[in-house]
């Protein structure tokens, strides 16, 4: 359970003009108005259309060049090595060691922002992909010919390995008592790297990166929100959100999104009086089963994480079953796959709203951690004396930004679902009626998000 | 168990979910009426 002090807010927001819960009502109203606006002003699908224009050639070629790809890959490998080295050899204080802040803040949160703004940047920096490709290249040279073809990636696996990978990462961050201990971060990185190399050797580098490697799949989903997309050797522009409309609903995609939203939900709920009230009782149950006190609490938190993921899954399935009940002759599975892409902006809204201050404040720690990655007093770049400026943003401004993220994310989700309904249903009116239930889901996720944020200072 | 003295906190928490509960209730009633109309 990560112990950064600035996790979700610093002080109570006592001077808001209206009660916090009323923001939830206002947000729900914005969604209803947006829904009506979409029904009236958006009569045919627009996001499913093919539209991509390359950027001016010199810029496009430079950004998508092999040399830059190789340089980014080398940087990614260097950072991976630094995380492992600092985690194993540095001081075992999470705030003073490079590894925890880099993994849980810069990588896990910062890359989400970069992916939305600049496209799938992690693909270029992915250290496992870079190493896999380099090894394959060297092996081809050494064998003086083509290597044996990898196994076919089993279609039924879909995005299930990525969902499992993200769930385990969330468990390390939110469930394991020493999950932010630098040594544990380094060991987890080594174990994950080894598993990734084995999977890439079996199924091929690109096949595993595209579907199975948890972080590649995670950041790729967020990159589909933004307007930048690389095709072949060129970088171009597309309509924002249209990358999501082209998301293939592979098996495990709903589970993956449920993990993405559910893990943030649990992180927020874990601060609520509701959870702090029942967690000790659950831990006692595990102690009665023979668990040690520390492991009993971890088991309780693990159960809470799973419950949050299942809650998100159930809420989505409620919307899907409601949409199915309206008519149209689609199965629940078909509808669940058809609308799953609309959960991605919700996942982004949850991450942005919940971790906004963590990224803003703890992200500044990178300035001194790069100079002293091991926490041993070194000052490589002369920035080891830097401190975190907690006055960057006030508590009320933080709340307004958080509400803005939540509302914007859910309006984007409504837009995606509306556009897909128009493409899916022959009868446009039936398509809109099916979306009443998806609107209920969006209002539900909005209410949940704002309640969770309010719990940070409860 | 959470103490009853914290009822104020619980009521505030429930207030967040009033819009979604109201909306789902309205949807269920609307669909039920339409089905009755269809059967009748």
Chain A interface includes B11 (CB < 8 A):
no
Render pLDDT for A132-168 as a digit per residue (tens, 0 to 9). 999 999 998 888 777 788 999 999 999 999 999 999 9
The answer to the question of residue A12 being in a domain is no
pLDDT of res. B8 = 64
Name which of B2, B9, B19 is nearest A443 (Cβ-Cβ).
B19
Render pLDDT for A183-242 as a digit per residue (tens, 0 to 9). 999 999 999 999 999 999 999 999 999 999 999 999 999 999 999 999 878 899 999 999
What residues in B contact A19, CB-CB < 8 Å? 12, 15
CB distance A359 to A347 below 8 Å: no
Residue A89 phi/psi, 5° resolution? -105, -15
Name which of A25, A325, A458 is nearest B19 (Cβ-Cβ).
A25
Residue A423 phi/psi, 5° resolution? -75, -30
Range of the domain at A105: 20-455
DSSP assignment letter at B4: G
What residues in B contact A36, CB-CB < 8 Å? none
CB distance A253 to A159 below 8 Å: yes
ipTM, interface predicted TM-score of the complex:
0.81
CA distances from A169 to A172, A188, A191, A252 (A): 5, 9, 12, 17
pLDDT of res. A9 = 37
CA of A274: which chain B residue's CA is closest? B2
Name which of B2, B6, B20 is nearest A443 (Cβ-Cβ).
B20
The answer to the question of residue A408 being in a domain is yes
Render pLDDT for A82-126 as a digit per residue (tens, 0 to 9). 999 999 999 999 999 999 999 999 999 999 999 999 999 999 999
Tell me what the mean pLDDT of segment B22-28 comes to.
90
Tell me what the mean pLDDT of segment A32-51 comes to.
92
The answer to the question of residue A372 being in a domain is yes
CA distance A106 to chain B (A): 32
The answer to the question of residue A146 being in a domain is yes
The answer to the question of residue A14 being in a domain is no
Tell me what the mean pLDDT of segment A284-304 comes to.
95
> Is B19 in contact with A436 (Cβ distance < 8 A)?
no
The answer to the question of residue A11 being in a domain is no
Name which of B1, B16, B20 is nearest A21 (Cβ-Cβ).
B16
The answer to the question of residue A43 being in a domain is yes
What residues in A contact B1, CB-CB < 8 Å? 277
The answer to the question of residue A119 being in a domain is yes
Chain A interface includes B5 (CB < 8 A):
no
Give how many domains chain A has, as a whole number: 1
Place of tokens 């919700």: A346
- Does position A368 have pLDDT exceeding 60, yes or no? yes
Render pLDDT for A429-442 as a digit per residue (tens, 0 to 9). 888 888 999 999 99
- Please state, for a pLDDT cut of 70, what percent of chain A lies above it: 97
């Amino acid at each position: 359970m990560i112990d950064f002090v600035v996790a979700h807010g610093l002080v109570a927001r006592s001077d808001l003009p209206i009660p916090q819960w009323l923001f939830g009502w206002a947000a729900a109203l914005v969604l209803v108005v947006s829904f009506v606006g979409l029904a009236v002003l958006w009569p045919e699908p627009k996001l499913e259309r093919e539209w991509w224009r390359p950027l001016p050639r010199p810029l496009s070629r430079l950004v998508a060049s092999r040399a830059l790809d190789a340089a980014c890959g080398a940087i990614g490998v260097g950072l991976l090595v630094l995380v492992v080295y600092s985690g194993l050899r540095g001081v075992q204080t999470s705030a003073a060691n490079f590894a925890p802040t880099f993994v849980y803040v810069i990588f896990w949160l910062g890359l989400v922002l970069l992916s939305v703004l600049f496209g799938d940047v992690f693909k270029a920096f992915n250290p496992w992909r870079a190493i896999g490709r380099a090894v394959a290249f060297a092996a081809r040279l050494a064998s003086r010919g083509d290597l044996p073809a990898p196994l076919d990636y089993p279609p039924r696996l879909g995005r299930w390995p990525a969902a499992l990978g993200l769930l385990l990462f969330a468990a390390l961050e939110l469930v394991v008592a020493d999950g932010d201990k630098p040594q544990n971060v380094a060991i987890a990185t080594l174990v994950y790297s080894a598993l990734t190399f084995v999977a890439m050797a079996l199924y091929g580098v690109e096949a595993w990166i595209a579907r199975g490697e948890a972080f590649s799949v995670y950041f790729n989903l967020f990159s589909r929100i933004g307007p930048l997309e690389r095709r072949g050797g060129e970088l171009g522009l597309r309509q924002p959100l249209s990358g999501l409309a082209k998301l293939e609903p592979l098996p495990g995609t709903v589970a993956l999104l449920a993990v993405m939203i559910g893990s943030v939900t649990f992180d927020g709920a874990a601060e609520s009086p509701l959870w702090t009230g029942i967690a000790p009782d659950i831990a006692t149950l595990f102690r009665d089963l023979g668990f040690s006190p520390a492991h009993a609490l971890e088991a309780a938190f693990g159960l809470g994480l799973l419950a949050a993921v299942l809650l998100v899954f159930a809420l989505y399935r409620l919307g899907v079953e409601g949409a199915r009940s309206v008519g149209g002759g689609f199965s629940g599975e078909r509808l669940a796959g058809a609308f799953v892409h609309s959960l991605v902006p919700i996942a982004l809204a949850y991450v942005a709203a919940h971790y906004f201050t963590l990224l803003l404040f703890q992200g500044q720690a990178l300035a001194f951690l790069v100079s002293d990655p091991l926490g041993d007093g070194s000052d490589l770049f002369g920035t080891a004396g830097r401190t975190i400026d907690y006055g960057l943003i006030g508590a009320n401004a933080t709340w307004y930004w958080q509400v803005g993220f939540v509302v914007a994310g859910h309006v984007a989700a409504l837009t995606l679902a509306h556009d897909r309904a128009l493409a899916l249903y022959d009868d446009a009116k039936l398509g809109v009626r099916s979306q009443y239930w998806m609107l209920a889901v969006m209002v539900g996720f909005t209410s949940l998000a704002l309640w969770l944020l309010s719990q940070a200072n409860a | 168990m959470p103490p009853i003295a914290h009822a104020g906190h619980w009521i505030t928490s429930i207030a967040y979910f009033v819009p979604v509960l109201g909306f789902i209730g309205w949807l269920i009633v609307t669909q039920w009426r339409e089905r009755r109309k269809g059967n009748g």
